[in-house]
Amino acid sequence: MKTIPVIQLGIGNVGLQLVRKVMNFNQTNSDYFIRYIGIADSRYLTFRPEGMNRELPGILRHKGIRSVESSIVHASSGGLYHILELLKGEKTDCLCIVDATASEDISGFLRRCVIRGFNLVLANKKPLTGKMADFHMLNRARLGCRATVGAGLPVIPEIRKILSDSESICKLEGCFSGTMGILCSALEKGEPFSAIVEEVKRKGYTEPDPRDDLSGMDIARKILILARFCGYNIELIDVTVDSLYPGTMEALPLEEFMANLKNLDAGYKIMFDQARKKNATLRFAASLEKGKCRAGMKEVMVKSVIGRLKGPEKAVIITTGKRKKESLVIHGSGAGAESAAKDMLEDILEVSDCNW
């Protein structure tokens, strides 16, 4: 049995789902054993080089690591770099650093991990959408990041395969967010915009502040990641993004923002009614073409690949130089933490495989 040591950063919705999946995996698999040696959240970290899997049920029960007993718990005021100090002298073969955070400030730590030769698995899109130099640095590692774009679909693995076959990608278009898919399908049925947002927020499909999704920046980061893997040197500021709410609502307190969403109901009803008259509909889509990235609402025919999507279904259409008339369509369903955690588990196993 091959043992894979893991340090997980982040114990929110995605992080907790990953812990559950690792526990189930270890109980049913006889070829690999994923051994947690550390978990960190925004305030604390717990580290035990001999393994701490017995603590995982308690972490799930308490939804955090502060209550972990008989473990070394450190206040993480010194930052994540404390982990690197704790690892000195420890055997770190096949060590996998798992980023299940949404942190903007983690790239420096991850770069240090690359230098140390650690494997990386990311659900956090921000390290891959910062400076181009950071992207290149992280891509030098054994890097698993399929959860960052189209969780539940093998979008990044397929792009890597296409490029490894010496094909060029001419155009890429799709709907990468199950949450946005749920939103658009409900709008198509005539449900009020404000009520839909309330519902998907209540179910945990959006970030705690739905503006993180409705601003379009999450989708913008996803298309930027794909563009970079396709070989384009593009910065986030270069992506054209259309928000689903006016800029005047950006600075409102969350409660006031949610209350003001009712002011947008009539406008979205008109948009979808007008599209319906043309046998069309609207989807929040992103595209890469001729080195340009865009994310926003797009009118599409109801019988098109994107127009046929329902609920959390996602689709990516890839056109290559060799197959300009026959695009590759990747289609599937999935939204939220469960899909992301499933992808992260697959990545942990893949980056730890000797045949990378």
- The reply to whether 356 falls in a domain is no
Q: Which of 14-23, 66-75, 108-117, 243-252 has the lowest mean pLDDT?
A: 66-75
pLDDT tens by residue, 283-342: 999 999 999 999 999 999 999 999 999 998 999 999 998 766 678 999 988 667 888 999
pLDDT tens by residue, 137-162: 999 999 999 999 988 889 999 999 99
The amino acid at residue 212 is D
Q: What is the pTM of this model?
A: 0.92
Per-residue pLDDT band at 181 (split at 50, 70, 90): very high
Task: Give all strands of the β-sheet with 96-99 in edge-to-edge order.
Answer: 73-75, 44-47, 32-40, 2-9, 96-99, 119-122, 143-144
**Are 207 and 294 in a shared domain?**
yes
**Are 128 and 175 in a shared domain?**
no
pLDDT tens by residue, 76-126: 545 688 888 888 877 788 899 999 998 888 999 999 999 999 999 999 999
Tell which residue, 121, 102, 354, has the closest CA to residue 208: 102
Cα distances from 84 to residues 51, 52, 253, 257, in angstroms, run 17, 18, 38, 41
Q: How far is CA 284 from the centre of its chain?
A: 17
pLDDT(229) > 50: yes
Per-residue pLDDT band at 355 (split at 50, 70, 90): very low
**Are 75 and 98 in a shared domain?**
yes
**Are 195 and 294 in a shared domain?**
yes
pLDDT(179) > 90: no
What CATH number did the domain enclosing 35 receive?
3.40.50.720
**Are 191 and 316 in a shared domain?**
yes
Cβ-proximal residues to 9 (8 Å cutoff; 6+ apart), any chain: 39, 40, 80, 97, 98, 99, 100, 101, 103, 106
Domain with 80 in it: 2-151+338-351
